[in-house]
Each structure stands twice: as C-alpha cells, then as structure tokens.
C-alpha cells in the first residue's frame, strides 16, 4: 500500500505543474482510492505526526494543511468514498461565508479550488452593496466536488487515508514543560483494537459525536443518514477521561425532490452571473463554461404548508425538543411557527449536472415522510412532486469551544485539536476554515514548532476562532459580515494580500505552496506600483477636467488632485484613467477592479489602522494558560478572578472583550504580563549567556594543550 | 457577586437586609472594558485633557493636557504664538478661548515636553482659579482645540504606566485607583441616566441600534431572503431624523437638566430604625416627619447641607421592607434607586432590637456587597441597657472588616458628635476624588461623543447609494460613539434585533 501512496505523490507533482491553469481533467485516481487504504493492519506501530479523524470539510482541510506544513499525516474516516461529501446544501460561499472561502484559498486550502471545479451556477451576492460585503457563491455538483477533494488528497505527499471507526483517544501524562493535564498519543480503532500513535490528533467528527437522527417519531443513533453511528467510545474519552464540558445542538436537512416530478414553469427562474467569478486567487476562470451553468428556481410557501406543520406537530419529535438549533437556518416548522401567516421563500437548487434531484432550500423538516410529501405538495410547482430521500433532523454533542486555545488546541490536552461542528459551528465554510487552521497547528505542534494564531483584525478566520474560544456558543455559530469589526479592511478581494504571505514563510504557518506565494507577491508588488503611479499623477482640477471631460469635478474643492483621489469618485473607473494616461497606467489593467476598490476603501482602512494596531498589541500579550487566577498576586476582585478562571483568555486582547472585566483588571493584567515577559526575557538572556559561556569553555578546553 | 452566607438574626441581618434590598435592580454596566469601552485607554495618539485637582471649595484648580497636540493647546490658549515657553517653568499668562479670543482667566501654565512629564508624553498644566465657571470655560475651550478630547477614566495614569513612568510599587495601587475612578463615574452617570437626559440618550441609542440591525440584516441576508426593500428607506428616515435631533441638541446652549451637585449621602435602613430622626438631627430642623409608625416616610426627602465646608445632598428614604401598599412599594423602589446612586450610604439599624452576633463572615458582606462607601449607624442607644451595650461593644470589636460603626441616639444626642466627625472625614475624602461631581467634565465628554455620532451619521448619508458597507460603517461608528455614553453595544445584540425583526432562513 505504501508504494501506491508514493505513486500518488509523484502524480501530484505532475498535477501541480499543471495547476496554473484549471485542470481540465481530474485524474483517474479516485477509482484507485478504495483499494489504497482499506488495510490498516500495518499502520499499527507506525508513528504519525498528525492523525485527522473525519473526512468532511474540516477533516479534509485539516489533513491537507497538516501535510502541506510537512507532517506525516493519516486521515481516518468511516467511508473513504464519502470524503468530501456535501451532506446538506449543494452550495458554497455566500455573504460572510464567501469571505471564509477566499481566506481558506489564500492559505492554500482546498475548498476554493474545489468550488471552482465543481461549481455549476456562480453568482456574487450583494453586488450592489459594496465590495467589502460581496458574497461569492456557487451551486455545486456534488459528485464533482467529492471527486476533486478526493483526488487532491490522494495526490498530497505525506498524506495517507484509511477507513475505520475511532473507538478511543489514547492519552498519557502531560509534558511537564507545557501547560495541560494530559497529552494525546494516538487513537485506537474499533474492531481489531488497532492502536495508531501520533503526536497530534485533530478531531473533526461533525454531527457524529453522540449523534441521533430524527424523522417523525422515530429516533436512531447516527450523524448522517446512510452512515453508521460513530462509536460511543470517543465521546466517553472526551467527557470522562479528559473532563471536557459538552453541550447539545441540533440541525436538519430538507427532503431531496425528484426533479422530473416538479413543474419548474410555476417557479421563478433565477439565472447565474453571466461571467462566473472563480473563488480561488489561482484561477482566472471556472471549470464550468458560462453558458453551461444551470439556473435555480424560486418559489414560496402557501397557507397549506402552515396547516400541515400545525396538524403534524404531535408526530414531530425533533421540533418538540428544546435543544438549540440555528436561528438563521430554521426548519420550515420553526419558520411558520415563529412567523405565522407569511409566505416563506423556497429555493429549488440543482444538485449537479447529471443529477435527477433538486434541493429545496428552506424546507428543512423532520416530520414523518408521508407528511413531508403532503407538505411539499402544498407548494404549487411541487403539486405532483416525489420525494427521493426524506428530510431529517440531527442532534449532536459539541465541545464547549471556550476550552480551546486560539490555535484550536484543547487547552487541557497537549496535542489534541478540534475543528468544525464539534466546536459548535454550522456550515461548510466555517468547518473548512477551522479545519485548515487546526490542521496547520496540529502539524506545527507535532513538528515542535510553536502554534500560531490569526487575529480578528486581519481575517474572518480570526474573527470566527476568537468568537468561538473567547465567547463560546449558545446556538450553532454561523459567520456574518456584521461579526467583523474591521469589515471594510477584511474584504474578499484582498484575502491573498492579508493571508498568503503570512501562510508562506515557514516561521509563520508554512502551509502555502511556493507557486501561490510567488503569485501573491507579484500581485502585491503590482498593486503597490499602480497605487504609487496613481499618486504620482498630480494635476489641477482644470487639467483633470480636460483629461476626463465626462466626470463632474467641482473646481471649488481642491486645486490639486491625484489620480488616487480621482479614482475615489463614483463614476471614475481605472480604465478611464488608464486610457487618459496609458504610458504610466496601462500595464496595470489586469488589476483594474482591485485598484478601484483599494482606492475607495483606502481612507476608511487608514482610519481603522490605529484601532487595529491597538488590538493587535493587546493580542500579542499572551496570558499563560496555567495561571492560577485565584492566587495571582495582583489586585483583582473575586468576581473578575472567577471570570478569568472560567474562560482562561489566551491573550490580554481576549480578556478585555470579556463581559465583566473592568478597566482596572485589564491594567493589572497588563502589568502582570509586562513583568512576567520581562522576567522570561532576562531568563532567556541568562540561558543564552550560559550557553555561550559553555561553548567558550568547550572551545577553550579544546584549545588547551594536552 | 459575592455569595451571601446565611445570616442569623439581629443587627447584622437588618444591615445585610438593607444591602440586599438596595440591590434589587441588576447593576448597570456603563463603563466596560470591551472594544469600545476601555480601549481609549490604550490608544495613545489622541490628546486628552481633564480637571486633575479635587472638587469642593478650592482656590486653585489644575487642568492637565497630555498627548501630541498639547503644544497646540498651549499655543492657542496661552498666547505662545512664536515659540513655546521654557520647559517645566511656571509662567503667569492670560488664558483665552481660541474661538472667541475672550480671556477666560489669568493663571499659571507649565510646559512639560516628552518624555519628562507625568505621562511620558508632551503635557501642559493650567493652574487656574477654582470656581466652577472658570473651570467649565477652560474645559470647553480645550474641547474646541482640534485633536483634543476629554480623558476617559484612569487614562492619564494608564498612559504614565505605559510609558514606564510608574514604578512597580506605584502600579500596585493603580488598579484600585482606576477602579475608584470608574466607580465614581458610574455613580455619576447613573444619576444622569435616570434623568431626562438619560432617557433621551437611551432613546437615541435604541433607535440607532435598530437602524444598524436593519442595515446589517440587509447586508447579511437580503439577497435570497425576504427582507423587503422598504427596510432601507425606513433606515434613511430614521438616520436623518436622528442626525437632526443630535445636531439640534448640540446647538442648544441651555443646560438641559441641572445636575445635582454635592456629595450624595443617602440614609437607608429598615422601617422604624430612626432614619428620619437622623436626617432631622443632621439638618437641625424637622425636615422629615417622625412618628413611631413603621413606614412613615414614603418618598425621598432631600436636604442640602454644608458639612464643614463641603456641599452635601442628604436624602432620607423609605424604610426597606416588602409591602403590599402601592405607594410604599414605590417609595421603596425610589429608596433603592437612591442607594444605587449614592456616594455614601448611612445604614441605620435599630440597636436595641436584638444584638445576637451571627457568624462573623457575614459582616464584611455589608460593605463588600455594596462596593461602595457606607457607615453603619446603630441608633436608639438610649434604649440599650448597659449590660447589652457592653456585650455589643465586645462583639463589634471581635469583627474585622466592618465599615465604620457608630452607636448613637437621636433622642439624647449621645454619640452624635463622634458620628459627625466620621461623616465629615468621609465626605472630605470623597471631595478629594478628582472625578467626584464634576459635571462639566462629564458634559464635555458627552459632547465629544455626540459630535462624533452626528459626523458618523453623515457618513451613512454620503455612501447610502454607492457603498452600503461604508454606509453601515457610519452607523456602526455612531452606535459606538453613543455607546460610550449609554453602554457598550456588541455584535450579538445587533444580531438579536435582526432575528427578532426578520424571518431569516436559508
């Protein structure tokens, strides 16, 4: 088997050579997949750097990122062929979520490129509302998406995949030099009790942690329909052995409808963008040709739908439970109950180019299948519709994420990382973002490199993780642009500038390939040159008027304006300036749109800068994780000590954002951090000096005459 | 909150009961250390100013300015047009208003260029006459200098600390100091917020939050959700109304509401403990009706006093007890509110009721729970038999961490003199607090935040049709600015409004 893995690695190199252009053909590798990784016997005794448990959006990104960083990585999943499956909606991106996809791509993750490969309907949401809140989104072909992810993973060097169910997490005494009560050493598989050791383990079990499925009045254990439930052992280890606090959340998925049974002429046609915009910074176009894109359809619920929901309430277990579900992705039951007498939107989305199914977005439901059929038939285009697979609800455990560090490592357990729904989030993009970050950090930790964090001032991934680890969740967490304080700086168009350089250098993250890094440098330098060239155009308003007669420039304003000032005008495009000054600007035409956005947002980003710097300063002051807040020799009230002890913020910045922390407490903590840092530094200096002395001593003794 | 241990009977129960009753309402959080609360303290590019000397009757007041624009302030207010004065030298100058060039006062000015100043930054000190009119005028004039804003709580000290100007031992006490400052500001803000001005700000804040929630909902959801287009039009109307109202308010030169100044001393306790008798004793006239019937006082009775030169506003409140009488219940509510706003509380307890001392752990709760200054007054000493009095005395000595306790009798004037001495020194300490009762400072702060709020709303109007993200940024800034007066607003709160107002589901 190992030889096959090596073989796939060489194919990967071939692929990478071709990866500048979008690959026209996926390799045949996925057909090889199943034989590759079915035997686990020889894995026992093998020492991996990183084991990733789970093959969903978090798991695949985690495994790929860990391998990119340089770790020998093993991905364990229940069924190899469901790796990269889209369990719920066949779409990627959107407002807020699209930003996450762009950021994952900027760090060389998979989902952006997979979306470009599998997308069959691209559109930029919020196009009229300003580039900072544009939401790149695509409907996906399920099969193509899975194929892309699988072939990408197979061709990733240092990555092995194996089929199996994890029974137990192996833990031992902690490394005394680091904080924590336990240290993870590997996992044990069910049936056969194979133990596989690893320095880091990333758990991305999604809805499978003590998951139960609900349809009507029946409940069965499981995390996704058609898949075996995961063993109770893992849940047990987390709760009993590691003492982690868990909570319970719920979610649901709609029934899948047979396409031919729907009269789409009764629904409103919704066309994609005529020029699809790819997610990935590496792609200039999508796999799907513009004219080959498929449409979506919009329809509405009727009073009949509400009647069916009300009549079937007593037959609906899931809806009666008070477990927290997402407010922004409610089942049709909660929608009509919370906002009665209204007509609610239902989107009919294609599931793929060759698929016979439609996905009715907005109709997630958990009533018995026969009533589900009655319900959908209350909606005009679906009067005669047939259900292929009924909708169902899932309830699952999540680990309260305040127990994690900003590197997504469990604070009390060295080497254990969590990502995705296990942390209380919902959505593919949220899962992918965490997966990438947890995987990169798991690899760094395994390779004895310090873990790294992303600030909420520089990325949506940072906002997501900071919200999770410093505030926790009370309902499934979804990204919104309104969660980002510095939304005007964290735009989808500049994710590469913000993150790729950071992800490249080995000292920082080390998860970005050199191809991508070089490209981002080229883009950054070109943009800088272009902005300099624009600022160098320094003309009086009357000269500008002569150059651009169609633009209303008020002469009373300022007498001298730069090209950058002009580009901030609503009706001035970069193309207009470039045609007026071809000699200095025409070489930057490739970046026309990005330059226009940069120009408009520049004054606002400059205003943000001061606040961002302040927050970053505070975030750079880390609070030791093993600190005993109750005995800390600084002046803090018992109330504050209790909050700090409960939440254990990782940085001073996180501490200031906690409810109930007073300015006085922040100053005292600041003082503590300063003093301990100074002490550490002197200690380090001393050690260095000692080492130097030792070396000198050795050198001296070596040169001593015998 | 501290856990309350079970209390046995006697005085301590009465006292703790007072505290509990007075804490009926959840504590307000007006100054928080979150993104838009404390941070000003750590952002140091701004130039800040504040009255640094104490309140009360003083001959000289010191106003401090710190930050890069200090020199500008010195130039345009002390007439140093050519060059700056020699560092660290006191000069007598006319201090003028930079807008009207009207002379406000003649006083000493000192110039401390960085880094040799208290805060480590460029600093200026104005030593002016202590009258409130002069101080207010100088503070307002400073507020009109570009780049200057009123300091936040503890900001000077924090800057000094950041610049490494304070040694470790000094820093030890710093937290307590800042805590005291914020606590004083909280009380003061509470006083204002419970008035008409407070209601006005709160209303603006609620409307702004709603605007923001609706814009955010329109950005985060509208494309494939059912958010009607009308939402944004309603926001437009709201924003321009708010902008106009705030600007009108800023132009209004009248002081909206006269702030009650002076140390707020509140008498509180159980019914029939002798609170009204104490008030009458202190103001030396029968200001409040006294009778042996429990629940005689039903409303707050206020008297202004001059206590050894310091202004004191003394309030007698209804006895704290659960009552079915509607009028009395309202009286108890008002009493609680008063205690919440008090600078100093006199907890009056009937000493002859019982004097069984409970387990000692409960006693410090009295003062700690209140997180504020209080004096424990054991009244009706005349009814206390000698034996019991000695017992009480030994018991009191056995308890550590008590607030100051005085045994008095309003009937025989016993212990009254000693009590007045303690009261006087407490009031004196309070008046030394630079933040205490300085309405001008608070008003200047409000003004600055309101101006920023109005400017931010103009940004919404400017970008409304071209870039909604930038327009929303304007509303966000406006909410943050107003939040500095009314309390912090978090992303979660905005999301809550969104989900309450819209059915959003995908």
Q: What is the mean pLDDT of residues A571-592?
A: 92
Query: With an 8 Å Cβ cutoff, are B470 and A125 in contact?
Result: no
The pLDDT of residue B198 is above 90: no
Q: What is the mean pLDDT of residues B467-485?
A: 88
The pLDDT of residue B367 is above 70: no
The pLDDT of residue A704 is above 70: no
pLDDT the model gives residue B444: 64
pLDDT in tens, A524-535: 999 999 999 999
**Which of B170-184, B262-276, B359-373 has the least mean pLDDT?**
B359-373
Sheet bearing B405-407, strands edge to edge = B301-307, B310-316, B263-269, B344-350, B373-379, B405-407
Asked if A471 and A656 count as a contact pair (C-beta separation under 8 A), the reply is no
Beta bridge partners of A598: none
**Residue A511 C-alpha, separation from nearest chain B C-alpha, in angstroms:** 30
**Residue A600 C-alpha, separation from nearest chain B C-alpha, in angstroms:** 9
Closest residue in A to B32 (Cα) is A662
Asked if B111 and B88 count as a contact pair (C-beta separation under 8 A), the reply is yes
Q: What is the mean pLDDT of residues A389-406?
A: 93
Residues of A in contact with B171 (CB under 8 A): 671
Query: With an 8 Å Cβ cutoff, are A601 and B494 in contact?
Result: no
CA atoms of B377 and B276, how far apart (whole Å):
13
pLDDT the model gives residue B368: 39
Closest residue in B to A326 (Cα) is B505
Q: What is the mean pLDDT of residues A147-166?
A: 94
Provide the pLDDT confidence category of residue B386 given band limits of 50, 70 and 90.
confident
The pLDDT of residue A185 is above 90: yes
More confident residue, B495 or A600: A600
CA atoms of A437 and A511, how far apart (whole Å):
10
DSSP, collapsed to helix, strand or coil, labels residue B261 as: coil
Asked if A75 and A63 count as a contact pair (C-beta separation under 8 A), the reply is yes
Return the closest-CA partner of residue A347 out of A94, A678, A615. Answer: A94
DSSP, collapsed to helix, strand or coil, labels residue A214 as: strand
The verdict on B244 touching A (C-beta cutoff 8 Å) is: no
Mean of the per-residue pLDDT values of chain A: 85
pLDDT the model gives residue A588: 94
Q: What is the mean pLDDT of residues A184-206?
A: 90
Sign of the torsion angle spanned by Cα atoms B32, B33, B36, B41:
positive
Nearest to B216 among A361, A482, A617 (CB): A482
**Residue B504 C-alpha, separation from nearest chain A C-alpha, in angstroms:** 6
The pLDDT of residue A22 is above 50: no
Nearest to B43 among A488, A610, A666 (CB): A610
The pLDDT of residue A627 is above 90: no
Provide the pLDDT confidence category of residue B17 given band limits of 50, 70 and 90.
very low
Q: What is the mean pLDDT of residues B313-340?
A: 84
Provide the pLDDT confidence category of residue B334 given band limits of 50, 70 and 90.
confident
pLDDT the model gives residue B502: 61
Strands (E), B42-142: 47-51, 60-66, 91-96, 103-112, 123-129
HSE, CB side, 13 Å, CA atoms: give it for residue B182.
25
Tokens of B195: 């008035």
CA-atom Rg of chain A in angstroms: 27
Beta bridge partners of A137: A93, A123
Provide the pLDDT confidence category of residue A280 given band limits of 50, 70 and 90.
very high
pLDDT in tens, A449-464: 989 889 889 999 999 9
Beta bridge partners of A387: A257
Choose from B217, B224, B228, B495 for mutation: most chain A CBs within 10 A.
B224
> DSSP of A274-297, one letter per residue?
SSPPPSSTT-SS-SS-GGGPPPEE
CA atoms of A332 and A186, how far apart (whole Å):
42
Tokens of A197: 């050791």
Q: How many CB atoms lie within 10 A of CB A695?
A: 10
Residues of B in contact with A656 (CB under 8 A): 33-35, 38-39
% of chain B beyond a pLDDT of 90: 16
What secondary structure, in 3-state letters, does A107-128 show? Answer: CCCCHHHHHHHHEEEEEEECHH
Query: With an 8 Å Cβ cutoff, are B494 and A482 in contact?
Result: yes
The answer for B 374-413 residues in CB contact with A (under 8 A) is: none
**Residue A202 to residues A74, A192, A413: CA-CA distances in angstroms?**
10, 22, 12
- Under DSSP, the state recorded for B50 is E
What secondary structure, in 3-state letters, does A496-565 show? Answer: HHHHHHHHHCCCCCCCCCHHHHHHHHHHHHHHHHHHHHHHHCEEEHHHHHHHCCCCCCCCCCCCEEEHHH
The pLDDT of residue B432 is above 80: no
Which residues lie below 8 Å from residue B382, measured CB to CB, with a gap of 6+?
B409, B411, B412, B414
Provide the pLDDT confidence category of residue B255 given band limits of 50, 70 and 90.
very low
Residues of A in contact with B154 (CB under 8 A): 663-664, 667
**Residue A615 C-alpha, separation from nearest chain B C-alpha, in angstroms:** 8
- Under DSSP, the state recorded for B39 is G
The pLDDT of residue B78 is above 80: yes
Query: With an 8 Å Cβ cutoff, are A664 and B175 in contact?
Result: yes
């Amino acid at each position: 088997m190992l030889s096959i893995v090596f073989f796939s690695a060489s194919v990967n190199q071939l692929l990478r050579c071709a990866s500048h252009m979008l690959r026209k053909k996926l390799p045949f590798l996925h057909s090889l997949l199943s034989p590759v990784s079915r035997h686990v016997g020889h894995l026992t005794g093998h020492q991996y750097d990183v084991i990733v448990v789970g093959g969903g959006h978090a798991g695949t990104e985690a495994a790929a990122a860990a391998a990119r960083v340089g770790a020998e990585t093993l991905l364990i999943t229940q069924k190899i062929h469901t790796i990269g499956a889209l369990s719920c909606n066949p779409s990627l991106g959107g407002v807020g979520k699209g930003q996450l996809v762009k950021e994952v791509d900027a760090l060389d993750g998979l989902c952006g490129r997979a979306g470009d490969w599998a997308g069959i309907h691209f559109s930029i949401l919020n196009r009229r509302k300003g580039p900072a809140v544009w939401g790149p989104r695509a409907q996906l072909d399920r099969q193509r998406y899975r194929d892309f992810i699988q072939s990408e993973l197979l061709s990733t060097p240092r990555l092995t995949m194996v089929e199996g169910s994890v029974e137990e997490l192996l833990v031992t005494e902690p490394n005394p030099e680091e904080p924590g009560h336990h240290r993870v050493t590997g996992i044990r598989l069910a049936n056969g009790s194979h133990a596989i050791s690893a320095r880091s383990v990333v758990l991305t079990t999604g809805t499978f942690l003590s998951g139960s499925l609900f349809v009507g009045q029946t409940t069965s254990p499981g995390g996704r329909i058609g898949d075996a439930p995961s063993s109770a052992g893992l849940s047990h280890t987390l709760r009993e052995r590691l003492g982690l606090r868990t909570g319970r959340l719920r979610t649901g998925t709609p029934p899948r409808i047979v396409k031919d049974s729907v009269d789409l002429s009764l629904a409103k046609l919704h066309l994609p963008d005529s020029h699809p915009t790819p997610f990935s910074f590496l792609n200039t176009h999508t796999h799907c040709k513009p004219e080959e894109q498929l449409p979506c359809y919009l329809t509405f619920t009727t009073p009949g739908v509400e009647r069916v929901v009300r009549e079937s309430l007593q037959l609906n277990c899931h809806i009666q439970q008070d477990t927290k579900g997402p407010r922004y992705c409610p089942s049709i039951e909660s929608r009509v109950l919370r906002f009665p007498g209204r007509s609610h939107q239902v989107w009919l989305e294609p599931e793929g180019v060759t698929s016979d199914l439609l996905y009715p977005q907005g109709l997630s439901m958990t009533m018995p299948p026969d009533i589900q059929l009655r319900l959908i038939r209350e909606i005009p285009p679906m009067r005669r519709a047939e259900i292929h697979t009924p909708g169902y609800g899932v309830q699952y455990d999540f680990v309260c994420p305040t127990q994690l560090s900003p590197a997504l490592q469990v604070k009390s357990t060295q080497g254990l990382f969590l990502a995705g729904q296990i942390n209380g989030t919902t959505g593919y993009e949220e899962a992918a973002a965490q997966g990438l970050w947890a995987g990169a950090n798991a690899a760094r930790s395994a390779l004895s490199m310090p873990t790294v964090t992303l600030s909420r001032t520089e990325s949506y991934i940072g906002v997501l993780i900071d919200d999770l680890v410093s505030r926790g969740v009370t309902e499934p967490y979804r990204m919104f642009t309104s969660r980002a304080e510095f939304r005007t700086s964290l735009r989808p168009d500049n994710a590469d500038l913000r993150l790729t350089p950071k992800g490249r250098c080995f000292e920082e993250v080390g998860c970005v390939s050199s191809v991508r890094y070089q490209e981002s440098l080229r883009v950054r330098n070109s943009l800088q040159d272009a902005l300099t060239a624009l600022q160098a155009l320094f003309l009086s308003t009357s000269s500008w008027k002569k150059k651009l007669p169609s633009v209303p420039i008020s002469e009373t304003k300022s007498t001298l304006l730069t090209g950058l000032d002009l580009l901030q005008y609503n009706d001035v495009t970069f193309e207009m300036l470039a045609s007026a000054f071809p000699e200095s600007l025409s070489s930057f035409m490739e970046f026309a749109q990005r330059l226009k956005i940069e120009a408009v947002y520049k004054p606002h980003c400059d205003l943000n800068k001061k606040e961002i710097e302040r927050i970053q300063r505070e975030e750079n002051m880390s609070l030791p994780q093993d600190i005993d807040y109750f005995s800390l020799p600084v002046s803090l009230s018992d109330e504050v000590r209790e909050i700090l002890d409960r939440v254990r913020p990782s940085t001073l910045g996180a501490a200031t954002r906690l409810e109930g922390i007073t300015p006085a407490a922040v100053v005292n903590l600041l003082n503590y951090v300063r003093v301990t840092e100074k002490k550490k530094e002197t200690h380090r200096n001393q050690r260095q000096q000692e080492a130097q002395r030792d070396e000198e001593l050795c050198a001296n003794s070596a040169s001593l005459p015998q | 909150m501290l856990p309350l241990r079970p209390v046995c009977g006697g005085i301590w129960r009465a006292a703790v009961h007072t505290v509990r009753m007075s804490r009926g309402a959840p504590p307000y959080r007006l100054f928080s250390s979150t993104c838009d609360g404390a941070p000003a303290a750590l952002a140091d590019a701004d130039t800040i100013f504040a009255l640094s000397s104490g309140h009360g009757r003083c001959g000289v007041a010191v106003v401090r300015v710190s930050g890069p624009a200090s020199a500008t302030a010195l130039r345009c207010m002390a007439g140093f047009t050519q060059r700056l004065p020699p560092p660290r030298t006191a000069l007598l100058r006319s201090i003028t208003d930079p807008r009207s060039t009207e002379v406000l006062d003649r006083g000493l000015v000192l110039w401390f260029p960085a880094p040799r100043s208290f805060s480590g930054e460029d600093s200026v000190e104005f030593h002016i006459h202590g009258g409130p009119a002069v101080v207010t005028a100088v503070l307002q004039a400073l507020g009109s200098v570009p780049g200057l804003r009123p300091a936040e709580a503890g900001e000077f000290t924090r800057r000094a600390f950041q610049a490494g100007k304070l040694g470790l031992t000094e820093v030890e006490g710093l937290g307590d100091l800042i805590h005291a400052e914020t606590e004083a500001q909280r009380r003061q803000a509470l006083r204002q917020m419970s008035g008409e001005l407070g209601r006005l700000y709160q209303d603006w804040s609620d409307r702004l939050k709603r605007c923001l929630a609706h814009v955010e909902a329109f950005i985060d959801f509208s494309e494939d959700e059912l958010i009607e287009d009308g939402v944004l039009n309603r926001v437009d109307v709201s924003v321009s109304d708010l902008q106009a109202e705030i600007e009108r308010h800023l132009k209004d030169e009248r002081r909206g509401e006269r702030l009650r100044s002076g140390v707020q001393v509140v008498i509180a306790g159980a019914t029939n403990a002798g609170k009204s008798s104490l008030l009458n004793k202190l103001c030396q006239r029968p200001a409040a009706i006294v009778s042996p019937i429990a629940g005689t006082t039903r409303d707050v009775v206020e008297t202004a006093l001059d206590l050894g030169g310091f202004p004191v506003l003394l309030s007698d409140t209804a006895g704290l007890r659960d009552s079915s009488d509607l009028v009395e219940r309202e009286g108890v509510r008002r009493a609680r509110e008063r205690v919440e706003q008090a600078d100093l509380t006199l907890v009056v307890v009937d000493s002859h009721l019982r004097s069984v001392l409970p387990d000692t752990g409960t006693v410090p709760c009295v003062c700690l729970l209140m997180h504020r200054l209080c004096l424990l007054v054991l009244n009706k000493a005349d009814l206390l038999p000698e034996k019991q009095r000695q017992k009480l005395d030994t018991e009191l000595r056995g308890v550590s961490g008590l607030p100051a306790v005085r045994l008095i009798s309003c009937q025989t004037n016993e212990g009254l003199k000693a009590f007045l001495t303690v009261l006087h020194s407490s009031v004196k300490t309070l008046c030394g607090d630079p933040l205490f009762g300085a309405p001008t400072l608070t008003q200047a702060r409000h003004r600055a935040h309101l101006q920023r709020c109005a400017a931010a709303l103009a940004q919404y109007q400017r970008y409304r049709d071209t870039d909604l993200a930038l327009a929303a940024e304007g509303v966000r800034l406006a909410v943050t600015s107003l939040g500095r007066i009314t309390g912090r607003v978090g992303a979660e709160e905005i999301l809550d409004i969104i989900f309450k107002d819209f059915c959003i589901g995908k």
